[in-house]
Amino acid sequence: MKNYKVALHRDYIVTIKAKNEEEAKFLAEYVIGGERDISTEREKKKFKFKIEEIEMVINEAFEIIKD
């Protein structure tokens, strides 16, 4: 079998409870790893947020990268 490097593009809709829009955007970028919440309990207490749902809406392989 051959090895391939595939450029993959994924978009998510994240439903998050947060203090305001700016924190919601920051936290969604910061604590989402793939399709899961990677935040710690300490971060949840510090920033007072909760991830309600993570929904993948786009999953597209768009390029093979040649070595």
The count of domains in the chain is 1
Whether this model's pTM surpasses 0.85: no
Residue 10 lies in domain: 5-58
Residue 66: predicted pLDDT: 83
Q: What share of the chain is helix, strand, coil (3-state, %, to 5)?
A: 25, 50, 25
Residue 67 within a domain: no
Residue 19: predicted pLDDT: 97
Distance CA 38, CA 62 (A): 26
Residue 50 within a domain: yes
DSSP letter (8 states) at residue 18? -
Residue 22: predicted pLDDT: 97
Residue 45 within a domain: yes
Residue in 6, 3, 9, 13 with CA at minimum distance from that of residue 57 = 13
Residue 66 within a domain: no
Residue 63 within a domain: no
1: burial class by Cβ within 10 Å (0-12, 13-18, 19+)?
exposed
Residue 59: predicted pLDDT: 96
As averages over each run of 10 residues, the pLDDT of the chain (67 residues) reads 93 97 96 93 96 96 88
Residue 16 within a domain: yes
Residue 11 within a domain: yes
